[in-house]
Structure 1
């Protein structure tokens, strides 16, 4: 072999080794949209913090698909090209994500489904809160409240679900259905919110308020964004008092609405919990280890966390005493008096 070919072979070997090293140490974190503030405020920072403690030498890549399936696919292909060997994926479209998993596996890349499951293709692992349990919990909490406050059997409620392309939204809907179907109340109308967009939920809710008026005794909304949209529609209509509205995610805006008495409940599911779990699984996969699953969903080994329902009655204990949020962030001037009345300071 000539010196030229020896040098070329050596160069190729070094490049291959470097690429292999980069691939082994690179983890991508791909989130689905910006309508939910949690991804930038909690999930990504939580994942970064956990990875810093588990694999300080790992290179991390963050991308947000902004509710665009094609954009997320481009991002997915891009991070593989950049050497990611593990991708934590919260899909824009759960069905379309099956193709992404297939692409990744064909190139030896591991995929952790995050928050939203991928029913049509088995990922390497799934980390989330129990989404069906969330739907059941918020709806049952509302049913219990309606019964406790004397709302008669046969009264009507609205149901605002999440995105029809999100399998997690489907699980939340199933849980809501389970609670409402067993309740003495009637679902007046139901809506699947495209892209979880609060303005779309608000627009739909405004139409239902015009249609049903005072017959709406409660609204089961699948997350805080859609719940906030419903509350905005109720306020715009002049409803007083507001019927109880549910939520999910414990966003700052929702916590403020609960403190003010405008939203009935939300779900405390600190994103840092699932982000840290995803980081642990990612590092185990990097090391060639088999992560420990506590259950299985859609044939995928999974770890599902159990969330807690938050209302005015327990918000101080579950959110502020637990250190999930601070009064400094939540109790702004507009909410200071309401916070004080609940002992939040």
Structure 2
């Protein structure tokens, strides 16, 4: 299993580095304009899915495109989403190699299968940047969040919600896909906090990042433990948290803390109404800025050490990395996190049916 070093950087640092690169982009733009503006550098962008998490289409894709085209007037993006299908993503990857791309930003469906892909890219002189999930193989760089810390924040948020009842609490864990190394790191981080502090992890299964699987697993847990045998649920992301909450409601189980991750707008609304206890906000713009900056630097043949300021050790490889810091979002922190950070406008969150919950939480 990959065991990345936990080295974090701030979003501010990533953005300032992107601004530094922007000066190079402006020079490129001038040169491209005088040469007729022809695009001769293509950067591939492959994202993993769009069902369990809405972040990729809503945030990652447009932000990366904006960064790349803003820094390099001669660069274009060739984009595809695998919709959770590993075989589809492999074909998309091969198609990019056939097109003659310079760099591929890869967020893998199954990170454990990518080493041969990366080798094939290297053989063609193509650089692969692992984005959000650490792809196996000799990738040129890795941009993500401190995933172990994310799991710790999730676990601590459940403890905070349980309060003095934690020591007698049975906790259900619905983890992410086993093919995703991030999921293993979230899980390990949560266990570091929960183990020994709660009565026990009474049921633990992978939800595979799929709400329908999370529903089935949660129903299994309810059947196994009984309606009174579950005091809290760790769900690795917001899509699965929504499924867990619906399963608990259907079984008539109330007042059970449930948390997720990704700060999707529906999850933020559930946090405001009290249905979901917390989510974890990973500011997408600094991550996208860093990934776009590194992609342009590699396409231009530039050194990336000013952006990839950390090292991740993975299977004997030392990968230049930028790991950012996640933020917990509770009801009391919606205004200062996802609204104050510019992820959403209060008006986007506070549609009519949530207006009262927003007002009570000071979201305006």
Q: TM-score, normalised by structure 1?
A: 0.89
Counterparts in 2 of 1:77-226, with a 5 A limit? Answer: 77-119=94-136, 121-147=137-163, 150-194=164-208, 196-212=209-225, 213-226=227-240
Could you say which residue in structure 1 is the equivalent of 2:9?
A: none
CA distance in 2, matches of 1:176, 1:289: 38
Q: What residue in structure 2 maps to residue 51 of structure 1?
A: 68
Alpha-carbon distance in 2 for matches of 1:166, 1:256: 27
CA shift digits 1:233-273 (9 cap, x unpaired): 111112223x1111111000100100010101111112222
Residues 43 and 75 in structure 2, CA contact (< 8 A), matched pair in contact too: yes
Unaligned runs of 5+ in 2: 1-37
Question: Could you tell me which residue of structure 1 aligns to residue 16 of structure 2?
Answer: none
> Distance between the aligned counterparts of 1:113 and 1:322, measured in 2?
25
- CA deviation vs aligned residue, 1:95-126 (integer Å, no higher than 9, x gap): 1111111110010000000001024x120000
SS at match of 2:60: helix
Give the match's secondary structure for 2:301: coil
How far is the alpha carbon of 1:152 from its aligned partner? Answer: 4.9
Aligned to 2:295: 282
> Structure 1 residue 182: deviation in Å?
4.0
Q: Does 1:321 align with 2:337?
A: no
* Residue 259 (structure 2) aligns with: 246
Cα distance in 1 for partners of 2:354, 2:282 equals 23
Report if aligned partners of 1:164, 1:193 keep a CA contact under 8 Å in 2.
Answer: no
1:308 alignment partner in structure 2: 327
CA contact (8 A) 2:106 2:135 kept: no
The total of aligned residue pairs comes to 319
Counterpart-to-counterpart distance in 2, 1:341 and 1:171: 35
CA contact (8 A) 2:134 2:142 kept: yes
Structure showing greater Rg: 1
Contact 2:107–2:135 (Cα < 8 Å) also in 1: no
**TM-score normalized with structure 2 length:** 0.85
SS of the aligned residue for 1:163 comes to coil
Distance in structure 2 (CA, Å) of the matches to 1:153 and 1:69? 41
Query: How far apart in 1 are the matches of 2:73 and 2:62?
Result: 14
Question: Distance in 2 between the 1:169 and 1:72 partners?
Answer: 19
Q: CA deviation at 1:37?
A: 0.9
1:184 is paired with a residue whose SS is coil
Higher RCO (CA-CA < 8 Å; seq separation 6+) = 2
8 A contact 1:86–1:282 mirrored in 2: yes
